[in-house]
Amino acid sequence: MVSPAGGRPGAEDGGDAPGAEPPGRPETDKDPPVLVTARLRPPDRTVEVPDVHRVADLLAHLEVLPTTVLVIRDGTLLTSQDALHDGDRVEVRFAISGGSATRGGG
């Protein structure tokens, strides 16, 4: 028996329903290209990172552990699950810790 859609693959399971993805559509059409500019401090350098959609993706691309940095966009602290958008400019600040010797008065 031929399906009402003329036997096309996917017609039986709603593959031709309105809003369905056409066959052979590249995966990249679902996620448009994203280019994020990241300013790393320290050292003070700027890099452009393509195809990152979350902060976690950006940090993985930069080979940075999320627990060692703060990521800031427009003055707002981001978490590793926050979304990034094309044209975003973020600052990646490395957390630097260390002790200091006590001064005088001992």
Containing domain of residue 35, as a range?
A: 30-94
Reply yes or no on whether the pLDDT at 75 is more than 60.
yes
What region does 24 belong to: left with phi over 0, alpha with psi -120 to 50, or beta? left
User: Would you say residue 1 has pLDDT above 80?
Assistant: no
Inside any domain, residue 41: yes
Asked whether residue 102 is domain-assigned, the answer is no
Q: CA 66 to CA 76: how far, in whole Å? A: 16
Question: What's the CATH code of the domain at 49?
Answer: 3.10.20.30
Q: Which residues have CB under 8 Å from 80's CB, separation 6+? A: 54, 55, 56, 59, 66, 71
User: In total, how many domains does the chain have?
Assistant: 1
Per the DSSP assignment, residues forming a β-bridge with 73 are 76
Residue 2: the pLDDT is 45
Q: What is the pLDDT of residue 30?
A: 66
Beta-carbon neighbour count of residue 92 at 10 Å?
Answer: 20
Q: What is the mean pLDDT of residues 19-25?
A: 46
pTM (global) more than 0.75: no
**pLDDT at residue number 84:** 97
pLDDT digits (tens, 9 = 90+) for 46-72: 999 999 999 999 999 999 999 999 999
Asked if residue 86 is part of any domain, the answer here is yes
Domain presence at residue 68: yes
